[in-house]
Amino acid sequence: MTRQIKLGAFLPGGGQHVAAWRHPDQPADGATNFEFHKQLALTAERGLFDAYFLADGLAVSFGGGTEGGNAKVAGFEPVTLFSALAPLTKHLGFIATASTSYEEPYNTARKFASLDLISGGRASWNVVTTASEAAARNFNFAEQPPHATRYRRAREHVEVVKKLWDSFEDDAFIRDKESGVFYDTDKMHFADHAGEHFKVNGPLNVPRSPQGHPVIVQAGQSEDGRSLAAATAEVIFTAHQRLDTAQEFYRDIKSRAAAEGRNPDHVLIMPGVSPFVGRTEEEAQEKYERLTSYILEEDGIALLNGLTGGTLDLTGHDLDGPLPPAPPTEGNKSRQVLLRQIADENGFTIRQLYQWVASARGHYTIIGTAGQIADMLQEWFENEAADGFNILPPWLPTSLDDFVDLVIPELQRRGLFRTAYEGRTLRENLGLPIPVNGYAAGRRVAQAAE
Amino acid sequence: MTRQIKLGAFLPGGGQHVAAWRHPDQPADGATNFEFHKQLALTAERGLFDAYFLADGLAVSFGGGTEGGNAKVAGFEPVTLFSALAPLTKHLGFIATASTSYEEPYNTARKFASLDLISGGRASWNVVTTASEAAARNFNFAEQPPHATRYRRAREHVEVVKKLWDSFEDDAFIRDKESGVFYDTDKMHFADHAGEHFKVNGPLNVPRSPQGHPVIVQAGQSEDGRSLAAATAEVIFTAHQRLDTAQEFYRDIKSRAAAEGRNPDHVLIMPGVSPFVGRTEEEAQEKYERLTSYILEEDGIALLNGLTGGTLDLTGHDLDGPLPPAPPTEGNKSRQVLLRQIADENGFTIRQLYQWVASARGHYTIIGTAGQIADMLQEWFENEAADGFNILPPWLPTSLDDFVDLVIPELQRRGLFRTAYEGRTLRENLGLPIPVNGYAAGRRVAQAAE
């Protein structure tokens, strides 16, 4: 089969751009409006997107680093939201972000396994560590654990969750009314996990779905993040401003995955792209400038502060001067480096920098016609920079509609994108294999039932 | 307005009775079948039930104490399931059980607040402590904490969750596109909680729903349980075999609630009732005997063992002899006492005891015509034993259909039950007030934003 582009859609109801909610088209209450999320899901499914992707945070984001800025001060927990959207859709996958830092793996495993069953195999977990002092203070900590500790916990968390997802073999349930045998106890397995952060006996009380496991997504860019991603991720969300850095990342992850004994084709690299689509270049530029005009100075400053880990104090700085230096923090390290790179390479002032990152917080922003945008996606896709893309429409629903109505048909004309869903599950659409049950395959030692 | 009976429906997809899944009418895969749960929700809404109620456990139940026995070895996490059912219904409330023992209050608050918003104010939290060694071993413990510790943690957990639910006042969101003011920071509040078990700063990143808070449900019967329920519950689920013990409980809780400064009318007592409904007495009795005939001896023994805390070893005992003595455990204490009481008062053998509790695990089981069942409900309702009932249909969908088609119309003829939903939210249907925001009312000290 011809290799085709895979597409995720980041559709926070409050909009992606820091000032999206001020746009006349955008429902100002979108972040907490279920009917609006339903509309977005149906549009994404009409556009044949592989999945609806949502970020998440475990605190109100005062730093402004969150999509949508203040419009995202409150919203839905993603798994709860996606579960409500699942029966209203048929093919769309759901990638929910959930932190490994402040949740127990049994609870994580359960909610994703439940969503996966309810949706008939369309669930996916975007595994993150939470880099936020505010979140730490919501979970009994005075300050957040160090970066390296968070990543060790993340790796162990994923390991436990995967063990739990294999608690029942696919043919464990006999359900023979005549004999009264409901399940085969030999096909139920105990995780019996005891590690640095977790002791979890199992089994999980949810069976596997038609896709085996929810698809594992990750976005780490740091050394710790790349290592975790290469070991466990099936889809990698990544932020790049240039083809060459995207290629470097793509090749690095594929070779790391191979070194882990994995098939590199089963690790899909999907950079983020924020498109301003116009019928002409001028129209696209006007859309960009109009949205930019809605940014308040204090929101722009909060955005930069939030993205750089909350330590970049811009008070008293000339917004039309250069970005001052700041020490690295225990927060999202790669994002701090990326912002600095964007400022340096473009010679941006503080104001120009926040205007540029306001739509996608460091992901690639492109302003142009459907043809120009398709050219860019095609170039990255055909040159070892991407297996697909996570599209971040700057405001909603208009930028999503624009992409679905203008860019998708162009990609289809070029044979780069599907014209109908290939399968029933997210894995089938992404071309990812169903994970073999580790116990059934004898790769994990089955514990005797007590 | 005339006082009317409130009704919850316990509808585990795998059936309530330990052998339900062996009944020809019951889908054997009901526990993990989303479409079947959808059918049950639609039937409950057709029957004008206030709410769909689901129990929960944080481990595979090997002891057999769970509804449905082995058929409940695996199923859905309740909040995830209810979120999927919410957009498919319009009036039905959703009471999801969630433990205070192994979850963080910020996560509990978030998922229920999200469900409450998504459903337009139809969510409810059945607050439980988890009494299970198997669950403790899924959450880093070698054994479960003592009964008293679990209850102190439960009380603090609920306190934190309620603070978090009040993080934003109802008019905090201004969303003025012109000025760019999204919310009023003076109307956002920090929990700033530091207690024995939890340190939680807040605010929660989800706003209040149209019903203010999800309805708080509890089921504790022990001294600790009654005390917690009187202080915090709005609906109390309780198990009684006789009118007089139900009355004692009813009066005790109402007076405790009054002593806490609460309006006793806003604490609804709803005992569990498991009905075998027949068009004649004989037909009802046949239904009971038929379902009883499906119970395997080992499942009956596991059921008694599970209900008594996992320490009642019946190996080698004559099933047609009396129940042997057993020491009380740190498990569900009131259930242990209740089982003993049922055995003593009825002079039951081991076999007769497990047959009797197989349908409702200690809740009142009634076998009769719609008129006889309505008589019983009416007697309890009119004599200070109940404000409503949680109906536990023994197997599904048939026993639910029977109740909706036969008993509900009889209750309506007597003016004891609604003929249409009164309101949009669960609170409106239950006649419960919207909780005033504690910060807005000045009852809680608002913390300054940082």
Strands A181-183 and A173-176 turn out to be antiparallel
Residue B69: per-residue pLDDT: 83
Strands A364-369 and A268-278 turn out to be parallel
Question: For chain A, how many residues are written?
Answer: 450
Residue B445: per-residue pLDDT: 61
The DSSP-derived string for A142-153 is SSPPPHHHHHHH
Q: What is the mean pLDDT of residues B314-343?
A: 80
Any CB–CB contact under 8 A between A190 and chain B?
no
A323-367: pLDDT as tens digits: 888 766 666 667 778 888 889 989 999 999 999 999 888 899 999
Residue B450: per-residue pLDDT: 36
Higher pLDDT, A298 or B47: B47
d(CA A62, CA A70): 8
State both tokens at B382. 């009119």
Does A447 map to a domain?
Answer: no
Residue B328: per-residue pLDDT: 64
Q: What is the mean pLDDT of residues A111-135?
A: 95
B315 band by pLDDT with thresholds 50, 70 and 90? confident
Does B445 map to a domain?
Answer: no
d(CA B252, CA B260): 12
The one-letter amino acid code at A137 reads: R
Nearest to A80 among B115, B200, B204 (CB): B115
Residue B332: per-residue pLDDT: 64
Residue A119: per-residue pLDDT: 98
Does B278 map to a domain?
Answer: yes
Residue B441: per-residue pLDDT: 80
Residue A421: per-residue pLDDT: 98
Q: Is residue A230 helix, strand or coil?
A: helix
Residue A316: per-residue pLDDT: 82
Higher pLDDT, B148 or B275: B275
Q: Does one domain contain both A323 and A410?
A: no
Residue B156: per-residue pLDDT: 97
Any CB–CB contact under 8 A between A4 and chain B?
no
Which value, in Å, is the radius of gyration of the alpha carbons in chain B?
22
For B86, name the nearest residue in chain A, comparing CA atoms only.
Answer: A84
Strands (E) in A136-284, as ranges, are 173-176, 181-183, 193-194, 199-200, 215-218, 235-238, 268-278
Q: Name B88's Cβ contacts closer than 8 Å, sequence gap at least 6.
A: A87, B38, B41, B42
CB pairs under 8 A, 24+ apart, for B439-448?
B439/B166, B439/B169, B439/B189, B440/B166, B440/B169, B440/B170, B440/B187, B444/B163, B444/B166, B444/B189, B446/B189, B446/B190, B447/B189, B447/B190, B447/B191, B447/B192, B448/B190
- Cβ atoms of residues B367 and B1 within 8 Å: no
Nearest to A207 among B32, B57, B134 (CB): B32
Residue B1: per-residue pLDDT: 64
A75-103: pLDDT as tens digits: 999 999 999 999 999 999 999 999 999 99
Residue B448: per-residue pLDDT: 41
Neighbours of B328 (CB within 10 A): 13
Question: Is B157 labeled as ligand-binding?
Answer: no
Q: Is the pLDDT of residue A449 over 50?
A: no
Residue A450: per-residue pLDDT: 36
A28-62: pLDDT as tens digits: 999 999 999 999 999 999 999 999 999 999 999 87
d(CA B277, CA B395): 12
Q: Does one domain contain both A383 and A348?
A: no
Any CB–CB contact under 8 A between B407 and chain A?
no
Q: Which domain holds residue B274?
A: 6-284+362-430
Q: Does one domain contain both A123 and A211?
A: yes
d(CA A107, CA B126): 17
Which value, in Å, is the radius of gyration of the alpha carbons in chain A?
22
- Cβ atoms of residues A303 and A361 within 8 Å: yes
Pairwise CB contact (< 8 Å): B107 & A106: no
d(CA B326, CA B349): 15
B308 band by pLDDT with thresholds 50, 70 and 90? confident
| CATH code where residue B126 lies | 3.20.20.30
Does B110 map to a domain?
Answer: yes
Q: What is the mean pLDDT of residues A231-244?
A: 94
Pairwise CB contact (< 8 Å): B77 & A110: yes
Neighbour-count burial for B76-102, b at 16+ CB within 10 Å, e otherwise: bbbbbbbbbbbbebebbbbbbbbbbbb
Q: Is the pLDDT of residue A8 over 70?
A: yes
Q: Is the pLDDT of residue A446 over 90?
A: no
For residue A46, give the H/E element and its range. helix A34-46
Residue B330: per-residue pLDDT: 61
d(CA B188, CA B202): 10
Q: Is the pLDDT of residue B449 over 60?
A: no
Q: Does one domain contain both B177 and B305?
A: no
B149-208: pLDDT as tens digits: 999 999 999 999 999 999 999 999 999 999 999 999 999 999 999 999 999 999 999 999
The last residue of one of the domains, among B341, B357, B373, is: B357
Does A372 map to a domain?
Answer: yes
Residue A63: per-residue pLDDT: 63
Nearest to A118 among B34, B87, B114 (CB): B34
Q: Is the pLDDT of residue B97 over 90?
A: yes
Any CB–CB contact under 8 A between B338 and chain A?
no
Neighbours of A263 (CB within 10 A): 11
Pairwise CB contact (< 8 Å): A177 & B104: no
Does A446 map to a domain?
Answer: no
Q: Does one domain contain both A177 and A323?
A: no
CA distance A335 to chain B (A): 23
Residue A326: per-residue pLDDT: 72
Q: What is the mean pLDDT of residues B392-406?
A: 98
Average pLDDT value over all residues in chain A: 93
Q: What is the mean pLDDT of residues B80-97?
A: 98
Q: Is the pLDDT of residue A273 over 90?
A: yes
For CA atoms A36, A41, A42, A48, the dihedral sign is positive
Q: Does one domain contain both B99 and B192?
A: yes
d(CA B212, CA A396): 28
State both tokens at B23. 């009944």
Q: Does one domain contain both B331 and B386?
A: no
Any CB–CB contact under 8 A between A42 and chain B?
no
Does B438 map to a domain?
Answer: no
A393 band by pLDDT with thresholds 50, 70 and 90? very high
B71 band by pLDDT with thresholds 50, 70 and 90? confident
d(CA A203, CA A173): 14
Q: What is the mean pLDDT of residues B41-46?
A: 98
Q: What is the mean pLDDT of residues A418-434?
A: 97
Pairwise CB contact (< 8 Å): A104 & B80: no
Q: Is the pLDDT of residue B128 over 70?
A: yes
Residue B331: per-residue pLDDT: 61
Residue B63: per-residue pLDDT: 63
Does B447 map to a domain?
Answer: no
Q: Does one domain contain both A305 and A343?
A: yes
% of chain B at pLDDT higher than 90: 80
Pairwise CB contact (< 8 Å): B87 & A87: yes
Residue B307: per-residue pLDDT: 83
% of chain A at pLDDT higher than 90: 79
Count of domains in chain B? 2
% of chain B at pLDDT higher than 70: 95
A281-304: pLDDT as tens digits: 999 999 999 999 999 998 998 888
Q: Does one domain contain both A15 and A72?
A: yes
Q: Does one domain contain both B89 and B127?
A: yes
Pairwise CB contact (< 8 Å): A104 & B106: no
Q: Does one domain contain both B376 and B350?
A: no
Q: Is the pLDDT of residue B446 over 60?
A: no
Any CB–CB contact under 8 A between B302 and chain A?
no
B329-372: pLDDT as tens digits: 666 667 778 888 889 989 999 999 999 999 888 899 999 999 99
Give which of B95, B205, B204 is closest to A12, Cα–Cα: B205
Question: Is A56 labeled as ligand-binding?
Answer: yes
Any CB–CB contact under 8 A between B34 and chain A?
yes
Helix ranges (DSSP H) in B276-317: 281-293, 297-307
Question: Is B61 labeled as ligand-binding?
Answer: no
Question: Is B315 labeled as ligand-binding?
Answer: no
The last residue of one of the domains, among A357, A381, A403, is: A357
d(CA B313, CA A114): 34
Q: Is the pLDDT of residue B251 over 70?
A: yes
Pairwise CB contact (< 8 Å): A84 & B80: no
Q: Does one domain contain both A141 and A259?
A: yes
